[in-house]
Structure 1
């Protein structure tokens, strides 16, 4: 009896599989870096918008109506002066915002909007992120 020799099977070749794995992992790592960079930028923009809104509201709250306060009446905000003070503060900071004085002229609400230009998210079509914050100041008579 003659033995038929089976051809030796070669193990499957791994060529190219590692390269595909490296490409997938590289894209995943770059996506995580991009999200952390642009996410951190958005958080900084939100913090800046919050700080600017608070300070602009505080600046507007100092614009009280002089004649009424001097005569011993209620301390109320002069809407025109308060709006101008807040807008001047926001313009000096290089941002845009809105100022709203309450009907009783005791509260000033400032809304600030900052546009953050993305670094990595622009690669997927997200070029800007908007950060909007609002702060309110109240007139306190001492």
Structure 2
């Protein structure tokens, strides 16, 4: 049996087989902190970037359908006798605005002076999901489409 330890003697720390490297302490944690923020940032750009593209495509589609709807409002007093193929500007404007209202979209409708072109512009906002953390909450998107009346001759 070993003799009892002297209480007045200094305590010796047990020796470790490896040396301690205090200079590197916490460097891995800092790396993963920076990498984690970068990964979350890229994820935010991917999610919200895709959402913005989807919202813009939807705005373009709504604008195109509203312009097509307006293009069907022909001025029959000129179309039936064959003197001109033009839209009734008031009916075209009302039809496009009704389509926008039904789609739940806001926008503007313009009928050209000669009545052969209808341009619809849709404005909307994309509600950011992940980039709202850095201040990008409502991102404006818009879509635009023009319908042109075309006369098709058979034969």
Which residue pairs with 1:121 in the alignment?
131
**Which of 114, 127, 132 is the equivalent residue of 2:142?**
132
Extract structure 1 runs of 4+ deviating beyond 4 A. none
Over alpha carbons, which structure has the higher Rg?
Answer: 2
TM-score w.r.t. length of structure 1: 0.88
- 1:32-111 matched pairs, under 5 angstroms: 32-111=42-121
Alpha-carbon offset, residue 12 of structure 1:
3.8
Aligned with 1:16 (options 21, 26, 33): 26
Helix, strand or coil: the match of 2:85?
Answer: coil
Aligned-pair RMSD on alpha carbons?
1.4
**Alpha-carbon offset, residue 140 of structure 1:** 1.6
Q: How many residues align?
A: 134
SS of aligned partner of 1:90: helix
Give the C-alpha shift of residue 72 in structure 1.
Answer: 2.6
Q: Distance in 2 between matches of 1:33 and 1:141?
A: 49
CA distance in 1, matches of 2:138, 2:97: 24
Q: How far apart, in 2, do the equivalents of 1:119 and 1:72 lie?
A: 54
| CA distance in structure 2 between the aligned counterparts of 1:61 and 1:11, rounded to whole angstroms | 77
Between stretches 71-80 and 38-47, larger displacement belongs to: 71-80
Q: Which residue of 2 aligns with 1:28?
A: 38
Per-residue CA distance 1:74-96 (angstroms, 9 max, x = gap): 11111111011111111111111
Secondary structure, aligned partner of 1:54: helix
